[in-house]
Structure 1
Amino acid sequence: MTRISLGESITMTARNKPDAPSFLFPDGGQHTFAQTNARVNRLVSALRAQGIGRGDRLAVFSLDSHRYVEIVLAALKLGAVYVPLNYRLRRGEIDTLVARAAPVAFCYDVRYTDLLAGLPDAHPSIKLFLAMNGDEPEYEALLATGTEAEPPVVASDEHVIGLAFTSGTTGLPKAVLQSQRMMKAIVTEQVVEYRMRPDDVRYAAAPTFHITGICQLLMCVAYGTPSLILPQFDPRTTLDFLAADRLTAVFLVPTMISTVLALPDVHDHTYDRLRLMYYGASAMSPNLLRRAMDTFRCDFLNAFGAGTEAGLQAVLTPEDHRAALDGRPELLGSIGKPAFGVALRIVDEDLNEVPTGEVGEIATRSDMVMDGYLEMPEETERALRGGWFRAGDLGYLGENGYLYLAGRKKDMIVRGGENIFPIEIESVLAEHPAVAQAAVVGVADEHWSEVVRAWVTLRDGATATAEELAGHCAQRLAKFKVPAEFRFVDALPTNASGKILKRELRTWN
């Protein structure tokens, strides 16, 4: 049976809406869908002339740009495998991942030229080492050698088209095998759950190297709506586009929302065109969420998932958010109900379903689940045992049928035999008016085995003491959950997706 390939999405949209904008740029420029498709076809032709085709791997190490998306679309048309790399990596980490992926092409941002010096010599698999930007971009020179003829369809749903490394840093890096079936399902899922409309203009602040970022760009390409592309998230530029009524929907992680809300003129605008702000990647405190809802006065949606490995898993819809404001505030602590086409269970170590209200591991089945990990059969079997994907996220189902997150399995703190879930303490700390962000970790203790340490950043101009925050927690939490230690810092460590890096916090004193 002949199926539509994901690479054809730009082809079909370019035919249906040739003059409609595909990408908007912060300097006021734009590309149309016809321009984008022509550039992608030229790249496909040029790469084929270099001997690159189906199954070959193309690594990208760059900030976000239209060229990044063109490389991914070209890989999809080639049936090649794109390998997105986190641009925050150090050289040793890059070498490790490149050795694992063995790409034939490596496309990079010239700002990282010194960091990447000698990379092709160290990795013989690299045949094409391509600068994407600069004064005379090699990328554009390569594009000029190609033709705009539409290439034949070569990718099938069972083919692996993406090889993405998980954010974990312990042990051998896990490379996730992402099939076309998986990526198509994620794009379709987002069109449904993220409430796409023909008049949309969207911005997703997730970096393109992350599956959340690239799939939202592919979603807009497939649906035929423009996307704003910024090299990196910038709160000032984001607010300017929102205030100018140039965006209808934005995806931001909670730390980004908090940063935008901290801008001095955020309350000076009405945001008439903004209809949806959706968030994910980490939990958002009810206090921050209420501030955002009061400021932007649009619909909100919480998207929860294990994107790199399993796509979207649960959604707290705009209707749920409105219900919370109408007398059901407990819903703001939830991550919603299973997403469209997702089977979800809360299970124990033996995959037995646990009773309502009991904490267990979140397990899902859907077409958005990965094919496994590259050359790691034991890790694959553990994650996909019994046909159910498990990422180590803990949660429980309330009597109301909504899913509540209890943190990561590896983040759970065991103090004197009592299990403590950091997210519960973090939510309480976030309710304090002086607290901007909080992250809780366990630290070794001779008597208790582990005790709770809270890392806290304060809002601009605010003050708070450890004693004050401990008293705030003691009024709302059992005594054993109250942090034994507080550490005040100017900023918490985050990755490019905005997630707080607890593994780093565990190394801080």
Structure 2
Amino acid sequence: MQLSDILHGSALKRPDHPALVSAGVQYTYAELSGRVRRLAAAVAATTSPGDRVAIVADNCVEYFDCLYGVPEGRAILTLVNQRLTAYEVDGILRDAEPRVLVVGAEHAERLSDIRSRVSSIERVVVLGKADPPAGLTPYDEFLALGSSAADSAGSSGPGAGDPERDAETAWLIYTSGTTGAPKGAMLTHRSLVSAMLNVMLEWHPSRDDRQLFSFPLSHVAAVMTLQYHLRQATVYLTAGFEPGAFLAAIAEHRITHTGLAPTMLNMVLAHPTIETADLSSLRMIAYGASSMPPDLLRRSMERFDVDFVQNFGQTEVSGNVLVLGPEEHRRAADGEPHLLAALGRNECLAAVRLVDDELNDVPVGEIGEIVVRGDQVMAGYWRNPEASAEVLAGGWLRTGDLARMDDEGLFYIVDRKKDMVVTGGENVYPREVEIVISALPGVSEVAVFGVPDETWGERVTAAVVARADAQVDAAAVLDHCRGRLAGFKIPKEVRIVGELPKNASMKVLKRVLREQTAQS
């Protein structure tokens, strides 16, 4: 099954049912299917199979056009986090080499001269603006390039596509690793469909559900919306997250399912309208990105009479592979708070193991690396065979996460080989930040790590050692980061230290740094 088969098949079954509500405008399945066909035809008319079409935009209905329509047009959709700086966007686009760049009107100005920096881009298409800057193409004008082909397209549905195309890359999403260099995870039609089916077996969405989605569509979490379209339900899309508007939307649209990072949930509970908000329609809150603090869960369960579900995964597995379900959450609230430290148990459609460096299973209770195998695993990293071979060695995806498993089959995270920091639902890779700070004149050494934070889950922290002949202060480090890193990657705390703690092999001991920071 190809991604657009999901939408077109649902349009055959429920053509007049609302598929998407965005910015107060409602689109039926038939209407959204038509929009996607028009975009697919325009993409096919202006690119060749396997070309990339990148998008930098806030959440909007046109983003859904691209999620489905670009792969239907045989191109690869490159999803770029719109919160990145122009410097960071340039680096991703130079690697992906898209022929077409789709930008939201809110980002058009800062990317208006992108073609002078990324030579592969032939056309910049602007959403939501009839008169974009000179040289940029309005979205409607781009759609017209394939209008005749779209008008002649026939109906299709699940199973109607070419099985060989299921293995083609549909989305390209960049994720950093220990080297700090962003790598493009190649997610195929098959891997994305498998990931959403894996979650559907746990969430049990119905045809009458109404999902409220407030996460950025530029993340792999976008796949969570497609499962509701497969079920012929309705997705309500917000441009961003604001707790008051979030609560109002639940009441107005009688939302049944939604997702929140713990940071977002904390903001909702602190909002002045939380006690009077009508939440009676809500049945499930899914969360991820970081674990749920016990006190936050207790307060949430007191206010929200719903099922809580935690999912664990990563971009390379097209979504999630572990789930901590409603039963474990109720047990945690009833006196077993240790369960909230669990990632969850293995979902049905992926194999998950804990192994040593030779891929041997470790005994229950001992620490091993989480490895995954199944249809939802990525095809590899874009144009990076060495990294692909390393992470997929032995036929299992090595996640880089260290965990242990208990007698119930629940996985508990112990540490991250990649030292990733999760702050406010965003992934920050320390090496990427360290490279930027190291370029500041006068810096001798730097280590970036995460420490617990009540608001953000973790806060990005940097320990910096200045050269003996230089003066470096926290303000200079932060000023250097601005414009080079997205706001969520910039350290919230910079400590100027005399030296970094190291072991006998001179490896920096970030565990010690975390402890020192917590004590101070």
Give 3-state SS (helix, strand or coil) of 1:314's partner: strand
Contact 1:41–1:149 (8 Å) recurs in 2: no
Give 3-state SS (helix, strand or coil) of 1:190's partner: helix
User: How far apart are the structure 2 equivalents of 1:53 and 1:17?
Assistant: 33
Contact 1:39–1:148 (8 Å) recurs in 2: no
Structure 2 residue aligned with 1:7: 4
Question: Does the alignment pair 1:373 with 2:381?
Answer: yes
For residues 307-346 of structure 1, what are the structure 2 equivalents within 5 Å? 307-346=315-354
Q: AA paired with 1:9?
A: I
Question: Does the alignment pair 1:58 with 2:61?
Answer: no
State the identity %: 31
User: How far apart are the structure 1 equivalents of 2:236 and 2:259?
Assistant: 11
Structure 1 residue aligned with 2:95: 100
Residue 176 to residue 21, structure 1, CA distance change in 2 (3 Å): same
Contact 1:188–1:219 (8 Å) recurs in 2: yes
Structure 2 residue aligned with 1:406: 414
Question: Does the alignment pair 1:143 with 2:143?
Answer: yes
User: How far apart are the structure 1 equivalents of 2:197 and 2:151?
Assistant: 27
Question: Does the alignment pair 1:180 with 2:189?
Answer: yes
Structure 1 residue aligned with 2:30: 34
Contiguous gaps of at least 5 residues in structure 1: 414-421, 446-493
Question: Does the alignment pair 1:48 with 2:56?
Answer: no
TM-score, structure 2 normalization: 0.77
- What does the per-residue CA deviation read over 1:302-321, in whole Å, with 9 as the maximum and x for residues that have no partner? 01111344531210011222
User: How far apart are the structure 2 equivalents of 1:245 and 1:323?
Assistant: 31
User: Which piece of structure 1 moves more, 320-329 or 9-18?
Assistant: 320-329
Structure 2 residue aligned with 1:504: 491
Question: Does the alignment pair 1:195 with 2:204?
Answer: yes
Contact 1:59–1:105 (8 Å) recurs in 2: yes
Contact 2:23–2:239 (8 Å) recurs in 1: no
For residues 436-455 of structure 1, what are the structure 2 equivalents within 5 Å? 439=459, 443=463
Q: Offset of 1:64 from its aligned partner?
A: 0.7
Q: Offset of 1:209 from its aligned partner?
A: 0.8
Q: 1:67 is matched with which residue: 62, 65, 69?
A: 62
Give 3-state SS (helix, strand or coil) of 2:167's partner: coil
The higher relative CO (CA closer than 8 Å, separation ≥ 6) is in 2
Contact 2:259–2:285 (8 Å) recurs in 1: yes
RMSD: 2.8
Q: Offset of 1:438 from its aligned partner?
A: 5.1
User: How far apart are the structure 1 equivalents of 2:120 and 2:77?
Assistant: 15
For residues 380-459 of structure 1, what are the structure 2 equivalents within 5 Å? 380-411=388-419, 426=452, 439=459, 443=463
User: Which piece of structure 1 moves more, 39-48 or 253-262?
Assistant: 39-48
Q: AA paired with 1:86?
A: N
Q: 1:164 is matched with which residue: 173, 183, 192?
A: 173
User: How far apart are the structure 1 equivalents of 2:456 and 2:315?
Assistant: 26
Structure 2 residue aligned with 1:125: 120
User: How far apart are the structure 2 equivalents of 1:495 and 1:341?
Assistant: 35
- What does the per-residue CA deviation read over 1:366-411, in whole Å, with 9 as the maximum and x for residues that have no partner? 2111111122222112211211212221211123321112232243
Structure 1 residue aligned with 2:304: 296
User: How far apart are the structure 2 equivalents of 1:344 and 1:82?
Assistant: 28
Contiguous gaps of at least 5 residues in structure 2: 133-137, 422-448, 466-484, 497-520
Q: 2:22 is matched with which residue: 25, 47, 56?
A: 25
Contact 1:310–1:389 (8 Å) recurs in 2: no
User: How far apart are the structure 1 equivalents of 2:248 and 2:187?
Assistant: 36
Q: Offset of 1:55 from its aligned partner?
A: 1.2
User: Which piece of structure 1 moves more, 148-157 or 334-343?
Assistant: 148-157
- What does the per-residue CA deviation read over 1:46-91, in whole Å, with 9 as the maximum and x for residues that have no partner? 33333x2421211001001110110121112122110011111222
Q: Offset of 1:298 from its aligned partner?
A: 0.5
Contact 2:194–2:349 (8 Å) recurs in 1: no
Contact 2:192–2:318 (8 Å) recurs in 1: no
User: How far apart are the structure 2 equivalents of 1:265 and 1:387?
Assistant: 50
Structure 1 residue aligned with 2:263: 255
Residue 179 to residue 114, structure 1, CA distance change in 2 (3 Å): same
User: How far apart are the structure 1 equivalents of 2:78 and 2:216?
Assistant: 14
Question: Does the alignment pair 1:277 with 2:264?
Answer: no
Contact 1:306–1:312 (8 Å) recurs in 2: yes
Q: 1:353 is matched with which residue: 361, 365, 375?
A: 361
TM-score, structure 1 normalization: 0.79
User: How far apart are the structure 2 equivalents of 1:327 and 1:316?
Assistant: 16
User: How far apart are the structure 2 equivalents of 1:32 and 1:114?
Assistant: 32
